[in-house]
Amino acid sequence: MTPPSIEYQTDNDVLVTDFSRIRAGSLLRAHGGFLMLHLRDLLADELVWEKLRRFLRSGRLQIEEPGTMFSALATTSLEPEAVDVDVKLVLIGTHAQFYALQEGDPEFARHFRIQVDFADSFRASDATRRATGIFVAHTTARLGLPPFGAAAVARLIEDSHRQAEDRTRQSAAFARTEALIIEAAALARQRGARRVEAEDVSAAIAARNRRHDYPDERLREAIADGDRVVPLHGARIGQLNGLSVIDLGDYRFGLPMRVAARTVPGHEGLLNIEREVGFSGPIHDKAVLVLHSYLSALFAPLAPLALSAAIVFEQEYAGIEGDSASCAEFYALLSALAGLPLRQGVAVTGAINPFGEVLPIGGVNEKIEGFYRVCAAAGLDGTQGVLIPARNRRHLMLADDVCEAVAAGRFHIWAIDHVAQGMALLTGVPFGLDDPRVATAPLHPDGTPAYAPGSVLDRAAETLRAYRRACLRAGNPRAWRGRR
């Protein structure tokens, strides 16, 4: 906001002014209308914010020299009469800024009673798709661009769904769509076309990605060169590929990361190595604790568990945040306990709740595409794929090459509701409970848990019993001395 001011000029080394050098600010120029201000700019200038507060209290605008209210001496040469100003103020800011002002300034809520949220997406329908076509037509007419064909508009709408990460919603970031319209039109003109087609929009999207994808390309090269170890064939115990998303602000991409777990007899419980070294954020810490609670419930008849386990993300040095790796961590830990190898060609993403249900995660498209491109570079063998939460099905808006590979059976996407389904897929061995939604196993008459013989849980329980016996033999006073 530009405040009203009084300008001076130099006359024989003396500053002079008169009424003709009184300058109106933003508030006075907006008299009778609306004035939109960014909260960030207002809060950065204490003088402007204080003047705005004085105006809100009185409804009158006092034109004065800059810094007059904070000056120790009265040096004003002109003092115009205060002006009545009728203006509607609209402040634009974040939720955090709004609530901070509401809490810190009692007058703020009285003057700004209406709060409006701007949605970043909206539910798609025939009406919104038609409105998108109208928006494209108006944009091309306003900017003097060639018209868009129906297929090109459809491609823009598809990209809008991709940005919203939802097949049922469109993105409200119209500035991105407008920039895409301009670039696609330029590409159409380059090839001498009088109308923009879907191939021009796809080329514009690809060109935008190429301008920002160097970190993605470099990391995939590191995997191909063996600098980052990501096995894509065979099976290993206690290790598998998780999936992460790296957000650069204007570009996001998925990347596989190795999750490993080791278990030994002991009493320390589950150790999150990322947390111990300060690489784990609070959401990831929470996810590991949820995982631990579900694991404890699965083997409740054997509690307390004589177990020391560690989970680590291999070759990860930038920190871990989020809960989307908790399924992968659970599978690695259970594999280490049961001694069952996990398929290395299947990457896993998904959050877990205390009952083993798989919860949806963000960035599912980038994660799938990132792992697909790593597999494609190494050579697809028809066994590779990604395990995702079933609740993420409607968020799938995948690239054409991924869809073609899935349709041809060269790459797979499995959607699961419960970790039991994923464990059976990764190991080829039944989970061990008739109803996996019941976290605690039924008991035999002798009090031992009734897991299905030879199942994942049965093998893990046998390992835990062996750990307890080892602790007892070592004379560990903290080990449970009940049933063997």
- 313 and 257 in contact (C-beta within 8 Å)? yes
Give the pLDDT of residue 483.
41
Mode of pairing for the β-strands spanning 34-38 and 22-23: unpaired
Assess if residue 217 is contained within a domain: no
Give the pLDDT of residue 357.
93
Residue 157 and residue 269 share a domain: no
Give the pLDDT of residue 279.
82
Angle 301-305-310 (CA atoms, 0-180°, nearest 5)?
A: 135
CATH number (domain holding residue 84): 3.40.50.300
- Token pair for residue 361? 């995660």
Residue 67 and residue 127 share a domain: no
As a whole number, mean pLDDT of residues 453-477 equals: 85
Confidence category of residue 72, pLDDT binned at 50, 70, 90: very low
- 308 and 335 in contact (C-beta within 8 Å)? no
Residue 203 and residue 291 share a domain: no
The CA distances from residue 107 to 37, 99, 104, 114, in Å, are 18, 13, 9, 14
Mode of pairing for the β-strands spanning 252-265 and 239-247: antiparallel
Residue 183 and residue 258 share a domain: no
Residue 100 and residue 49 share a domain: yes
- 272 and 309 in contact (C-beta within 8 Å)? no
Full-model pTM: 0.81
Q: Give how many domains the chain has, as a whole number.
A: 3
Q: Is the per-residue pLDDT at 114 higher than 90?
A: no
Residue 423: Cβ-neighbour burial (10 angstroms; 0-12, 13-18, 19+): buried
As a whole number, mean pLDDT of residues 420-448 equals: 78
Confidence category of residue 482, pLDDT binned at 50, 70, 90: very low
Confidence category of residue 479, pLDDT binned at 50, 70, 90: very low
Confidence category of residue 74, pLDDT binned at 50, 70, 90: very low
Give the pLDDT of residue 12.
66
Residue 301 and residue 177 share a domain: no
Please state, rounded to an integer, the average pLDDT across all residues of the chain. Answer: 85
Q: Which residues of 458-474 are buried (b: 16+ CB within 10 A; e: fewer)?
A: bbbbebbbebbeebeee
Show the 3-state SS of the chain: CCCCEECCEEECCEEECCHHHEECCHHHHCCCCEEEEEHHHHHHCHHHHHHHHHHHHHCEECCCCCCHHHCCCCCCCCCCCCEECCCEEEEECCHHHHHHHHHHCHHHHHHCCCCCCCCCEEECCHHHHHHHHHHHHHHHHHHCCCCECHHHHHHHHHHHHHHHCCCCEEECCHHHHHHHHHHHHHHHHHCCCCCECHHHHHHHHHHHHHHHCHHHHHHHHHHHHCCCCCCCCCEEECEEEEEEEEECCCCEEEEEEEEEEEEEECCCEEEEHHHHCCCECHHHHHHHHHHHHHHHHHCHHHCCCCEEEEEEECCCCCCECCCCCHHHHHHHHHHHHHCCEEECCEEECCEECCCCEEECCCCHHHHHHHHHHHHHHHCCCCCCEEEEEHHHHHHCCCCHHHHHHHHCCCCEEEEECEHHHHHHHHHCCCCCCCCCCCCCCCECCCCCECCCCCCHHHHHHHHHHHHHHHHHHCCCCCCCCCCC
Q: Which of 86, 111, 136 is the last residue of a domain?
A: 111
Give the pLDDT of residue 8.
61
Residue 357 and residue 258 share a domain: yes
Q: Which of 53, 76, 111 is the last residue of a domain?
A: 111
What does the alpha-carbon distance between residue 292 and residue 354 come to, in Å, rounded to a whole number? 9
CATH number (domain holding residue 352): 3.30.230.10
Residues 12-66: pLDDT tens digits? 666 666 556 566 667 777 888 888 888 888 877 777 777 788 888 887 876 666 5
- Token pair for residue 429? 């061995």
Q: Which of 81, 111, 141 is the last residue of a domain?
A: 111
Residue 406 and residue 356 share a domain: yes
Assess if residue 228 is contained within a domain: yes
In this structure, which long-range contacts are made by residues 189-198, counting pairs with CB atoms below 8 Å and at least 24 apart in sequence? Answer: 189/146, 193/146, 194/146, 195/146, 195/147, 195/148, 195/149, 195/152, 196/145, 196/146, 196/147, 196/148, 196/149, 196/152, 197/149, 197/151, 197/152, 198/149, 198/151, 198/152, 198/154, 198/155
What does the alpha-carbon distance between residue 411 and residue 403 come to, in Å, rounded to a whole number? 9
Give the pLDDT of residue 51.
78
As a whole number, mean pLDDT of residues 285-299 equals: 88
Range scoring the smallest mean pLDDT among 255-259, 350-354, 449-453: 449-453
Assess if residue 117 is contained within a domain: no
Range scoring the smallest mean pLDDT among 74-78, 278-282, 380-384, 409-413: 74-78
Residue 385 and residue 468 share a domain: yes
CA proximity to 203, closest of 216, 192, 190: 190
As a whole number, mean pLDDT of residues 298-321 equals: 82
Assess if residue 444 is contained within a domain: yes
Mode of pairing for the β-strands spanning 412-416 and 385-389: parallel
Assess if residue 484 is contained within a domain: no
Residue 76 and residue 20 share a domain: yes
Assess if residue 88 is contained within a domain: yes
Cis status of the peptide bond prior to 106, with omega within 30 of 0 = no
Residue 305 and residue 199 share a domain: no
- Residue 181's domain comprises 122-212
Assess if residue 72 is contained within a domain: yes
What does the alpha-carbon distance between residue 34 and residue 92 come to, in Å, rounded to a whole number? 13
Residue 227: Cβ-neighbour burial (10 angstroms; 0-12, 13-18, 19+): exposed
Assess if residue 12 is contained within a domain: yes
Residue 443 and residue 326 share a domain: yes
